Amino acid sequence: MIVGVPKEIKNNESRVGMTPAGVFELVKNNHTVYVQSGAGKGSGFFNQDYQQAGATILDTIGQVYAMSDMIVKVKEPIAEEYDLIQKGQIIFTYFHFASSEALTKAMIASKSICIAYETVEDEEGTLPLLTPMSEVAGRMAIQQGAKYLEKPVKGRGVLLGGVPGVAPGRVLVLGAGTVGIQAAKMAAGLGAHVTILDINMKRLRYVNDVMPSHVVTEFSSEFNIRKHIQTHDLIIGGVLLKGAKAPNLITRDMLKEMRPGTVIVDVAVDQGGCVETTKATTHEDPIYIIDDVVHYCVANMPGAVPYTSTVALTNVTLPYVLKLANAGWRSACNLDKSLAKGLNIVDGEVVYEEITEAFNWESVLA
């Protein structure tokens, strides 16, 4: 199979879909790999690194798409890429279709094979290709939140860890999944007081077992959320419904109950956000303020630490890339049920029900 690795062109996205180590494995399996010139530069991988691993360097993104059977990316294609995608071409990347009807319609029109990292699901029900980026984003959420709590950027002026004689900052984490647990771990490490909410008691028991005593668990309800937003300095949105739009746990009217300078970091922004006032921002212009509440809603948070993120991502995607390349998508998905769950759009038809539900379309799966 001919595998193409284009340069990411989304704003401030420095990750790349494959490392030279991944290229080496594909070439060893008798596949051809085309890498766009400069694709890995932002992650610390240069053209000569890819060439030494056996890749051929192409000058333009158009050449990579035109000459490849499968495209391996990080982020969803943006408008400039829509016309480059060919009928029957495999696109293996993060899509988050439920948050973008325009992207979904464009991929339907392309009649490509869209396999989404975020819906590949293993036998335990976990999402192995989403987990490493959720780990990065969860940890980064606290770094960014701590920064935007500073007064010069309109935050409350609170140091999360406090100092002797001054109480530490208070962090509210919505969701005890991968993002939530990593955020709680980082916040606890800084010395903050952490409250983590979830509707899954099994997850809350796990958090209670592994976290220090200043990480407190509570069952998630609108009543409890409204209570805690009044007293917490930093709020982390880490809610995920597999392949579907995130629920709005914090509504517009709740902002008025928060103290001025409270910071919200909505990690769920890729799936529409779990805060009603969430709108996607970029690393270039990461925050906006509504009702004196600072919103940080960068849709590709791990893109700010591209070396860590690229290596973490490709560690888990490469085995699936090899399966797709070795067997073709049909056979690979027949043989691997977890990979089959990654199929979202095939030959112009939506085959992942949560997408049709997100846009209230009539399901073709019935």
Name the pLDDT band for 363 (thresholds 50, 70, 90): low
Query: How crowded is residue 166: how many other Cβ atoms within 10 Å of its Cβ?
Result: 10
Name the pLDDT band for 193 (thresholds 50, 70, 90): very high
Average pLDDT, the chain: 95
Please check if 254 is assigned to a binding site: no
Query: Residue 187, Cα to own-chain centre: how many angstroms?
Result: 20
Which pLDDT does position 118 carry in this prediction? 93
Which pLDDT does position 18 carry in this prediction? 97
Q: Name the residue with higher pLDDT: 77 or 271.
A: 77
Residue-wise pLDDT tens digits, 220-261: 999 999 999 999 999 999 998 776 778 899 999 999 999 999
Which pLDDT does position 271 carry in this prediction? 84
| Catalytic residue list | 96, 270
Same fold, 2-120+307-358 and 131-304: yes
Per domain, the residue ranges of the chain are 2-120+307-358, 131-304
Please check if 116 is assigned to a binding site: no
Q: Is the pLDDT of residue 28 over 80?
A: yes
* Secondary structure (H, E, C), 220-287: CCHHHHHHHHCCCCEEEECCCCCCCCCCCCECHHHHHHCCCCCEEEEHHHHHCCCECCCCCECCCCCE
Closest CA to 18 of 31, 266, 221: 31
Please check if 266 is assigned to a binding site: no
The whole-model pTM stands at: 0.87
Residue-wise pLDDT tens digits, 54-99: 999 999 999 999 999 999 999 999 999 999 999 999 999 999 998 8
Kindly tell me the burial class for residue 194, based on how many C-beta atoms sit within 10 Å of its own C-beta (0-12, 13-18, 19 or more): buried
Q: Does domain 131-304 have CATH number 3.40.50.1980?
A: no
Q: Is the pLDDT of residue 352 over 80?
A: yes
Q: Is the pLDDT of residue 366 over 50?
A: no
Please check if 338 is assigned to a binding site: no
Percent of the chain, pLDDT > 90?
89
Q: Is the pLDDT of residue 364 over 70?
A: no
Section 112-140 average pLDDT: 95
CATH class of 2-120+307-358: alpha beta
Q: Is the pLDDT of residue 337 over 90?
A: yes
Which pLDDT does position 281 carry in this prediction? 95
Please check if 301 is assigned to a binding site: yes
Closest CA to 357 of 348, 341, 347, 344: 344
